[in-house]
Amino acid sequence: MLRLCTLAASAVILFFAPSGSAQILGTAGSYGVLGASTVTNTGGTVITGDLGVSPGSAITGFSVIDGGPGSFTGALNQANAASALARANATSAFVSLAALSFTSQLTGLDLGGLTLTPGVYFFSSAAQLTGTLTLDAQGDSNARFVFQIGSTLTTASSSLVNLINLSTSPDCGPDNGIFWQVGSSATIGTNTAFAGNLLALTSITLATGASIDHGRALALNGAVTLDNNRIDASDADGGFCAPGSVVISPVPEASTYGIVGSCMLLFAAWRRRISRQQVG
């Protein structure tokens, strides 16, 4: 029984253990989608994370708002202090990413077909992804990919951002992540499997069936438009880790809490018994 109590307590402690990674995104890191003017959705979009808009207030197409088909797992913040702070934090992250010295100049190249290692990649104007972009993390738990894009980002239908050679470390490093700093607007094409944090100065459009893993859609001054998408912002630090690593611990089952409660009662009874023996 003692071993069982120890294991159960460890599970609860693991659940409440905080992540050690830094957050360049600040409070915006908890959002799957954050728009400035509006957020509109068509179809069964699923967002793992918060949903918000600021300074605008309009969000449409979600079940808890207007009975629409979309859903999200986190908080809803519309034109309030929380969404305003998240927008300010996202703007600060945008400025910080834009100020980084780039390691490679990719202006005029299509990202499709490239294999890139961690670094800062610069486009003086528009960037295009047609096909597959491979990001090789080289086993580095602090791998960071930053794309500085002067104007628009557009992906062709069925394009893919593929992550390989991820670190086997249980935690991402403080800089780990994929960040797309877009000087105007981003359009993610139909059925594109995208990855990373989209920070667009104006607007973001996800076409039908497009998805974002290890990231979020943050539009600083315009709208976010969704259509039957999937956005996974479950890692609030904005990073990525190897499949199967422990980053966000699962909620212990109800039975685990029951075991812990029983152990606490047994411990209390044991303490009372010892106290009585000492008095006697």
Mean pLDDT value across the chain:
84
Question: 228 with 194: CB under 8 angstroms?
Answer: no
pLDDT at residue 77 greater than cutoff 50: yes
Give domain status of residue 173, yes or no: yes
The pair of structure tokens assigned to 69 is 């088909």
Mean pLDDT of 153-177: 91
The confidence score (pLDDT) of residue 169 equals 80
Mean pLDDT of 78-86: 98
Q: Do 55 and 140 sit in the same domain of this protein? A: yes
Give domain status of residue 11, yes or no: no
Residue of 250 and 54 predicted with greater confidence: 54
The confidence score (pLDDT) of residue 187 equals 98
How far apart are the C-alpha atoms of 181 and 191, rounded to whole Å? Answer: 22
The total of structural domains in the chain comes to 2
Q: Do 56 and 113 sit in the same domain of this protein? A: yes
Give domain status of residue 247, yes or no: no
Q: What is the pLDDT of residues 113-136, one digit of tens each?
A: 999 999 999 999 999 999 999 999
Q: Do 227 and 257 sit in the same domain of this protein? A: no
> Which residues does 91 contact at the CB level (< 8 Å), separation at least 6?
220
pLDDT at residue 201 greater than cutoff 90: yes
Q: Do 214 and 124 sit in the same domain of this protein? A: yes
Q: Do 164 and 274 sit in the same domain of this protein? A: no
Mean pLDDT of 145-156: 98
Mean pLDDT of 165-188: 91
Q: Do 80 and 211 sit in the same domain of this protein? A: yes
pTM for the structure as a whole:
0.80
The confidence score (pLDDT) of residue 159 equals 98
How far apart are the C-alpha atoms of 152 and 159, rounded to whole Å? Answer: 16
Tell me how many degrees the CA angle 223-227-231 measures, rounded to the nearest 5. Answer: 80
Give the residue from 94, 10, 25 showing the smallest Cα distance to 235: 25
Q: Do 38 and 126 sit in the same domain of this protein? A: yes
| 40 DSSP β-pair partners | 60, 225
Q: What is the pLDDT of residues 179-199, one digit of tens each?
A: 999 999 999 999 999 999 999
Give domain status of residue 170, yes or no: yes
Question: 26 with 179: CB under 8 angstroms?
Answer: no
Helix (H, G, I), strand (E, B) or coil at 226: strand
Domain span holding position 277: 253-280
Q: Do 202 and 259 sit in the same domain of this protein? A: no
Give domain status of residue 238, yes or no: no
The confidence score (pLDDT) of residue 192 equals 98
Give domain status of residue 7, yes or no: no
How far apart are the C-alpha atoms of 279 and 272, rounded to whole Å? Answer: 11
Give domain status of residue 183, yes or no: yes
Q: Do 172 and 258 sit in the same domain of this protein? A: no
β-strand 144-149 against 119-123: which pairing, if any? parallel
Q: Do 217 and 272 sit in the same domain of this protein? A: no
Q: Which residue has the tokens 């075991």?
A: 259
Give domain status of residue 269, yes or no: yes
Helix (H, G, I), strand (E, B) or coil at 233: coil
Residue of 175 and 225 predicted with greater confidence: 225
Q: Do 166 and 97 sit in the same domain of this protein? A: yes
At 106, the amino acid letter reads L
Q: Do 158 and 52 sit in the same domain of this protein? A: yes
Cα separation of the two ends of the chain: 28
pLDDT at residue 246 greater than cutoff 60: no
Q: Which residue has the tokens 């294991």?
A: 7
Give the residue from 157, 143, 164, 166 showing the smallest Cα distance to 112: 157
